[in-house]
Amino acid sequence: MSNIYTLPFDQIGDADIARVGGKCASLGDMTQAGVAVPPGFAVTTDAYLAMLDDTGLRGALETHLKDLDLEDFAAVEAVAQTIQTSFRAHKLPPAVEDAIRAGYANMGADMPVAVRSSATAEDMPDASFAGQQDTYLWVIGADDVIEKTRDCWASLFTARAIAYREKNNIPHIDTLMSVAVQKMVNAKAAGVAMTLDPNTGDRTRIVIDAAWGLGETVVSGTVTPDNFVVEKVLQEILDRNISDKHMELVGDPAQGAAVERAVEPPRNTAPSLTDAEVIAVAMLAKSLERQKKCPQDVEWAFDADLPEGENLLALQSRPETIWSQKAKAKPKNAYATGLMSISNTLTNPYGGKVKTK
Amino acid sequence: MDAKTSMFPSAYELDAPKGAEGWQELYPYYTRFQPSRRGEEDQKFWFCNSQHWPTPFRSFDTIMLDFAIKCLGQYNSRHLLIPPANGIDYRILNGYVYFSPVAVAPEDIEARVPMFMERAGHYFMNWDDLLAKWKVKVKGAIDDLNAIEFKALPETEELEIVTGGVGLDSTNPLFEGYEKAIELCYKIWQYHFEFLNLGYAAYLDFFSFVKEQFPSIPDQAIAKMVQGVDSELFRPDDELKKLAKLALELDVADALSTGDADQALKAVAGVKGGDAWLAAWEKAKDPWFNFTSGNGFYSTDKYWIDHLDIPMGYVRDYIARLKDGDDITRPTEALLKERDRITSEYRDMMDEEAQDAFDAKLGLARTVFPYVEDHNFYIEHWALGTFWRKMRELSALLSDQGFWPEADGMFYLSRTEVRDVLWDYAQAWAIGTEIHGGDIWPAEIERRAGILKALQSEPPIPALNNPPDVITEPFTIMLWGITSEAVESWVAADDAGDELRGMAGSPGVVEGIARVLRSPDELSELKKGEILVTPVTAPSWAPVFGKISAAVTDIGGMMSHAAIVCREYGLPAVTGTGKASAKIKTGMRVRVDGNKGTVEIIG
């Protein structure tokens, strides 16, 4: 697949990061580091640029976005609607379409895939773009993949995204969009794992949220997930809170979509992961943290179609931002060592519960 | 909380168990709560040290309590000037031992710091040299003990005594031997604490630092970073494993398989390869069979070397496991690798400044920690074992002279009363009359044995009076696991719940059938895969750790023997539950969570 418009995950190199956005870059990274990641490819920002330039969309966008009044919600919303419509009114340039068809055909006939946006601005500090663009699950057929790719591009111009960029002085046209097309996981259970405790910043802990089916229910908060706390170094489960997971998101091949399904008792209150699976997820998150050298926020899933031992997949891994920023801002500490320290410790064991002066 | 509603009872309000009236006479006056001191004694917090003294003990055994606690104190208060801590005050109540740490007045702490730094600094800087000297001193004391011989007084003194103009008789070596043995025991206890307090201090500094970095880090993770894999405490067990392997290699396992140890040793001598195996067995015995199935503090302790059936039983167990294809070797390389992994992973999570401090503290902790583990073999096992053997020889000799019918009757007497007995023996021998003790001691020993039995029938009250707002005394926390949380859990000791709380001694979670053992004599009842539940364990129980799936103890912190050995064997352990051995019954199904420090009775 030698074209500039698509790039399989296993070929994404460091030089390509600007062309594939944060999400795809991370998937490429993981794939090449030997982490089990569902296969797929990136539709590069070159494809997006071709879309803007070959179809005349760029001119239309520039006109619509000129002199926006952020205070006027209705006007911004109207502009967003117009842009969405004009994206959908244009076919993709033939070379881009061919590249996507070829990339999709490579994955196998009528493979169900997830189509996700991978914006270049996601990596900007404190620009928590994540979640502002679209994700389409269980997409089947090249036509649908192409359509959802275009929808992802269009999602750059929701009223919220436009307003965000205006407010932060980010040029609209310079924010480029790549799209990830990734083999759909037939998730038995899925969720997120953070390599620190989000409540305390405690780096010795890995905190896992898990639910039945696809992990989107966990990310979006539509299901109260099971919560597990794992000691990172000793690799032991410290805590488990099993909740009532009333529904799950599962693929429906007939509809070509992910659908919600009620979870009946007693499965709803049964743990969505075995202890061994909890440890496996924790070790996956830990290895990603070590690989990327900073705390990570990992999306993962157990694939029902894969054999045990090979069924845990990483779907995404991004750096944790909140506590990592705090740690950087923390003043440097000088620590006492030697006898003076021993003397202090004896007088004030456990950080000075007893003051002697 | 006012005095009227104190958390724990006053020593002065606790009655003796029925049948134990008069127990006070079994122990010296200075170990008792004296009525004249009630006012001050009730103001102090006392906790029961059932880790080292799990059951009421005989009068003679007070020697270990006296020496241990005096010598612990001397290093804190007079040698090293540990800034905030003097010694630990001790009392005996209803046969159980109660401790109360003695703090230094806040205004006096600072003045001790320079002296502490100079003195402790000298030890830390010259640790290896001083420790090499220490080993020589301890081995010297053991040799001196072994050289003591107690002989019955002769019918007639040897002619040479007369012709040589000696002018003394055989009572002198008898008296001297006794005094010498007591003195050596006392020296051994001084040596015991010469390094120990410092070892704990350095470890505590490392421990506190890591806790400050990672407030939620499990205590056992910190212990794992400093623990050695080649502690001499593991040698006796390793020797048995080697002997089991050798028995299979030499094809002498069948000869070893039946009868008591003597019969097995005779049988093995008669088969091909038997000589080589016996030579290995003899070589292992000294010093490694100087290993007690208790903790060395009781005259009832059984040392392997005096009870060869114990190590022989373990060798047979190991042979059986080898035949089943089990790998019984300690995976020392894997353990070291795991220690390095844990250490580097925590270190990686620290910032640079913290990493530097961590490296320095870890270095010192690892230097001192081997002593914390190894001393136990030298002192409690080897040296005290030798002392007890000598005392048993004396007791048997006096029994032969008609002082008491049982060979071990002497241990019902205090060490001061033994001096009277020796005098009684000497004067009657010299004068040519009968000893008086034969009319006195048999009945008195029987009376005391009855009192002791009554004392032993009741478990101790875990503490007396009110605890301080926070317990911070470093040694109390490290050695006995006495923390504010632990004390709170004792208060809630009577709740009806099915969950017991203790210290997370060694990580892992396991469910299984409980086996409650109250004494080492019951060890043979353990079946493979069972969960050991016991008031306290001793290092010589090591061979059973290969059989069990988890351990639960009533008393003990993360540095207790059970915790150390379980971490070594990769078994979950919950220590310091206060009451597991009383609440759990053999055969119950329990879930041991060594990460959280909980034990749940499932059914």
Using the predicted structure, report yes or no on whether residue A160 has a pLDDT greater than 70.
yes
> Which residue carries 């992990």 as its tokens?
A215
- Nearest C-alpha neighbor of B533 from the set B568, B565, B490, B578: B578
| pLDDT above 90 coverage of chain A, percent | 50
B487-to-B46, B47, B102, B496 alpha-carbon distances in Å: 11, 9, 18, 18
Q: Are residues A191 and A162 in the same domain?
A: no
Taking an 8 Å cut-off on Cβ atoms, the answer to whether B595 and A237 are in contact is: yes
Q: Which of residues 339-358 of B touch A (CB under 8 A)?
A: 341-342, 345-346, 349, 351, 353-354, 356-357
Say yes or no: A234 contacts chain B, CB-CB below 8 A: yes
Rounded CA separation B523/B304 (Å):
14
Answer yes or no: do A343 and B113 touch at CB < 8 A: yes
Residue B556 forms part of a structural domain: yes
Query: Do B353 and A346 make contact, defined as CB atoms within 8 angstroms?
Result: no
Lowest mean pLDDT among A156-170, A216-230, B436-450: A156-170
- Give a yes or no: residue B354 inside a domain: no
Q: What pLDDT is stored for residue B347 in this prediction?
A: 96
Token pair for A233: 């170094």
Question: Is this prediction's ipTM beyond 0.85?
Answer: no
Burial of B287 (0-12, 13-18, 19+ CB in 10 A): buried
Reported as half-sphere exposure (CB side, CA atoms, 13 A), residue B71 has a value of 18
Q: Do B8 and B463 meet the contact criterion of CB atoms below 8 Å apart?
A: yes
Q: What was the pLDDT predicted at B39? A: 95
Tell me, yes or no, whether B96 and B183 share the same domain: no
Mean pLDDT of A113-120: 87
The verdict on residue A318 lying in a domain is: yes
Domain end, chosen from B329, B359, B382, is at B329
| Closest CA of chain B from A326, distance in Å | 13
Among residues B494, B462, B500, the alpha carbon closest in space to that of B584 is found at B500
- The reply to whether residue B211 touches residue A350, judged by beta carbons under 8 angstroms, is yes
B497 pLDDT band, cuts 50/70/90, is low
- B421, B441, B464 — which closes off a domain? B464
Can you tell me the mean pLDDT for B401-412? Answer: 98
Q: What is the pLDDT of residues B351-388, one digit of tens each?
A: 888 999 999 999 999 999 889 888 999 999 999 999 99
Cα distances from B360 to residues A289, A338, B366, B438, B491, in angstroms, run: 27, 8, 10, 63, 40
Residues 491-530 on B with a CB inside 8 Å of A are: 507-509
Q: Cβ separation of A353 and B351 shorter than 8 Å?
A: no
**Where is the domain boundary, A154, A183, A212?**
A183
Between CA B350 and CA A183 the distance in angstroms is 38
A159 and A302 housed in the same domain: no
Are residues A216 and A85 located together in one domain of the fold? no
Kindly state the percentage of chain B with pLDDT values over 70. 94
Strand partners, B593: B509, B598
Do B113 and B7 reside in the same domain of the chain? Answer: yes
Query: Which residues does residue B89 pair with via DSSP β-bridges, in sequence order?
Result: B100
At B23 the pLDDT is 97
Dist CA B189 CA B379 (whole Å)? 8
Side chain identity at residue B341, one-letter code:
R
User: Does residue A252 or residue A50 have the better pLDDT?
Assistant: A50
What residues contact A237, with CB distance under 8 A and at least 6 apart?
Answer: A228, A229, A230, A231, A275, A278, A279, B509, B595
Strand B463-464: give its sheet, edge to edge.
B85-93, B96-103, B46-48, B463-464
pLDDT value at A353 more than 50 = no
Nearest to B106 among A237, A335, A356 (CB): A356
What one-character DSSP code corresponds to residue B378?
I
Q: Are residues A209 and A233 in the same domain?
A: yes
Q: Is A347 in contact with B84 (Cβ distance < 8 A)? A: yes
**Same domain? B105 vs B133:** no
A61 with A151, same domain: the answer is yes
- Domain containing residue B250: 232-329
* Residues A119 and A248 grouped into a single domain: no
Please indicate if any CB of chain B lies within 8 Å of the CB of A66: no
- Which residues, numbered 211 to 230 in chain B, qualify as contacts with chain A under a Cβ-Cβ cut-off of 8 Å? 211-212, 214-218, 220-221
- Identify whether residues B110 and B139 lie together within a single domain: no
Q: Does the structure show a pLDDT above 90 at B182? A: yes
Beta strands B531-534; B509-516: pairing state: parallel
Residue A251 lies in a domain: yes
Report if residue A59 sits inside a domain. Answer: yes
* Cβ distance of A335 and B82 shorter than 8 Å: no
Give CA A54 to chain center in angstroms: 30
Alpha-carbon distance B503 to B237, whole Å?
Answer: 26
Contacts of B346 in chain A (CB under 8 A): 204, 233
* Residue A264 counted as domain residue: yes
Indicate the residue of A237, A340, A356 with minimum beta-carbon distance to B109: A356
Q: Domain count of chain B?
A: 4
How far is it, in rounded angstroms, from Cα A339 to Cα B126?
Answer: 14
Residues A217, A200, single domain; the answer is: yes
* SS3 readout for B219-269: HHHHHHHHCCCCCHHHHHHHHHHHHHHHHHHCCCHHHHCCCCHHHHHHHHH
Q: Name the more confident of B486 and B373.
A: B373
Same domain, B159 and B109: no
Q: Which residue has the higher pLDDT, A288 or B535?
A: A288
Q: Which residues make beta-bridge pairs with A112?
A: none
Distance, in Å, from the CA atom of B507 to the CA atom of B571, rounded to the nearest integer, reads: 7
* Residue A8: other Cβ atoms inside 10 A: 17
Total domains, chain A: 2
The neighbour count for residue B325, using CB atoms within 10 Å, is 6
The strand pair at A312-319 and B96-103 is best described as unpaired
Distance CA A247, CA A260 (A): 7
pTM given for the model: 0.81
A331 touches chain B (CB under 8 A): no
Residue A130 pLDDT grade (very low, low, confident, very high; cuts 50, 70, 90): very low
Banded model confidence at residue A229, pLDDT cuts 50, 70, 90: very high
pLDDT tens by residue, B313-325? 999 999 999 999 9
Task: Check whether A125 has a pLDDT greater than 50.
Answer: no
Strand partners, A298: A193, A317
Q: Is residue A173 located within the same domain as residue A191?
A: no
Domain with A104 in it:
6-183
A199 touches chain B (CB under 8 A): no
| Single-letter residue type at B361 | K
Judgement on whether residues B591 and B506 belong to the same structural domain of the protein: yes
B52 lies in the same domain as B21? yes
Task: Pick the closest to residue B373 from B134, B560, B567, B186 (CA basis).
Answer: B560
Assign A34 to helix, strand or coil. coil
A329–chain B Cβ distance below 8 A for any pair: no
Contacts of B216 in chain A (CB under 8 A): 197, 200, 202, 204-205
B595 contacts A327? CB cut-off 8 A: no
The encoded tokens of residue B133 equal 């000297």
- Indicate which CATH number applies to the domain containing A262: 3.30.470.20
Whether residue B551 is predicted with pLDDT greater than 80 in this model: the reply is yes
How far is residue B431's CA from residue B434's CA, in Å, rounded to a whole number? 9
- What pLDDT does B474 receive? 64
Contact (CB<8Å) A349/B477: yes
The arithmetic mean of pLDDT across residues B313-342, rounded, is: 91
pLDDT tens by residue, B258-291: 899 999 999 999 999 999 999 999 999 999 999 9
CA distance B390 to B370: 29
pLDDT at B299 (0 to 100): 96
Instruction: Provide the 10 A C-beta neighbour count for residue A74.
Output: 9
Q: Which segment of A276-285, B261-270, B501-510, B511-520 scores lowest on mean pLDDT? A: B501-510
Q: Which residues contact B355 (CB under 8 A, 6 or more apart)?
A: B347
Considering the domain boundaries, does residue B486 fall inside one?
Answer: no
pLDDT at A349: 63
**B423 close to B437: Cβ distance less than 8 angstroms:** no
Query: pLDDT digits over B434-455, tens only?
Result: 999 999 999 999 999 999 999 9
The answer to whether B103 faces chain A, any CB pair under 8 Å, is no
Residues of chain B with Cβ-Cβ distance to A343 below 8 Å are 83, 113, 116-117
Q: How confident is the model at residue B489 (pLDDT cuts 50, 70, 90)?
A: low
- Least confident among A145-149, B139-143, B485-489: B485-489
Structure tokens at B534: 């016991």
State in Å, rounded, how far the first CA of chain B is from the last one.
38
In contact, A256 and A229? CB cutoff 8 Å: no
Domain presence at residue A357: no
Residue B508 shares a structural domain with residue B565: yes
CA Rg value for chain B? 25
Strands of the A236-241 sheet, one edge to the other:
A236-241, A226-231, A205-212, A187-194, A296-303, A312-319
pLDDT tens digits for range A41-86: 999 999 999 999 999 899 988 888 888 887 788 888 888 899 989 9
Residue B111 and residue B139 in one domain: no
Q: How far apart are the first and last CA of chain A?
A: 73
Specify whether A86 is located in the same domain as A214: no
- Using a CB-CB cut-off of 8 Å, the residues of chain B touching A351 are 208, 211-212
Query: Per the structure block, which two tokens stand in for B441?
Result: 């001691």
Res. B558 pLDDT band, cuts 50 70 90: low
Q: Is residue B10 part of a domain?
A: yes
B108 is a domain residue:
yes
Distance CA A241, CA A278 (A): 12
What average pLDDT is seen over chain B? 90
Q: How confident is the model at residue B3 (pLDDT cuts 50, 70, 90)?
A: very low
Which conformational region is residue A73 in: left (phi greater than 0), alpha (psi within -120 to 50 degrees), or beta?
Answer: alpha
Hey, are the CB atoms on B116 and A343 less than 8 Å from each other?
A: yes
**Is residue B541's pLDDT more than 80?**
no
Q: How many CB pairs under 8 A join A and B?
A: 115
Phi (first) and psi of residue A348, to 5 degrees = -130, 65
- Spatial separation of the C-alpha atoms in residues B2 and B4, rounded to whole Å: 5
**Residue B178: in which H helix or E strand, if any?**
helix B171-213
Do B93 and B27 share a structural domain?
yes
- Listed residues A137, A162, A183: the one ending a domain: A183
The pLDDT of residue A121 is 60
pLDDT of residue A126: 41
- Nearest residue, CB atoms, A349 vs list B116, B208, B346: B208
> Quick check: B515 and B526 in contact, CB under 8 A?
yes
Q: Do B360 and A204 touch (CB under 8 A)?
A: no
Q: Does A109 fall in a domain?
A: yes
**CA-based nearest distance A240→chain B, Å:** 12
Tell me if A223 sits within 8 A of A217, measured CB to CB. yes
**At which of B301, B329, B357 does a domain end?**
B329
In whole angstroms, what is the distance from residue A95 CA to residue A101 CA? 10
- Asked if A128 and A200 sit in the same domain, the reply is no
Domain boundary among A157, A183, A209: A183
Q: Is the peptide bond before A266 cis (omega within 30 degrees of 0)?
A: yes
pLDDT of B521 strictly over 50? yes
Instruction: Output the pLDDT for position A311.
Output: 95
Q: Is the distance from CB of B80 to CB of B121 less than 8 angstroms?
A: no
Q: Can you read off the two tokens belonging to residue B535? A: 């008031």
Nearest CA in chain B to A354: B472
**What is the mean predicted confidence (pLDDT) over B454-468?**
89
From CA B78, how far away is CA B87, in angstroms rounded? 10
Encoded tokens for A313 = 């997949």
What pLDDT score does B583 carry?
Answer: 87
Q: Residue B183 falls within a domain, yes or no?
A: yes
Axis-axis angle for helices B332-348, B352-376 (nearest 10): 150
Predicted confidence band of residue A357 (pLDDT cuts 50, 70, 90): very low
Instruction: Give residue A201's pLDDT.
Output: 87
Looking at the complex, does the CB of residue A109 fall below 8 Å from at least one CB of chain B?
A: no
Helix, strand, coil % (nearest 5) of chain A? Answer: 40, 25, 35
A327 vs B contacts (CB less than 8 Å): 351
Q: How far apart are CA A235 and CA A278, in angstroms?
A: 10
Give B495's pLDDT tier (boundaries 50, 70, 90): low
| pLDDT at position A284 | 96
B7 and B105 fall within a common domain: yes
A292 touches chain B (CB under 8 A): no
Q: Do both A162 and A199 map to the same domain?
A: no
pLDDT-wise least confident of A182-186, B341-345, B490-494: B490-494
pLDDT reported for residue B492: 63
Looking at the structure, tell me whether residues A115 and A143 fall in a common domain. yes
Point out the least confidently predicted range of A157-166, A321-330, B341-350: A321-330
Which residues of chain B have a CB within 8 Å of the CB of A239? 596
Looking at per-residue pLDDT, the higher value among B44 and B471 belongs to: B44
Q: Which of the four pLDDT bands, split at 50, 70 and 90, describes residue B594?
A: confident
Under the banding of pLDDT at 50, 70 and 90, the label for residue A350 is low
Residues 152-211 of B with CB under 8 A from A: 201-202, 204-205, 208-209, 211
CB environment A246-264: b (16+ within 10 A), e (fewer): bbbbbbeeeebbbeeeebe
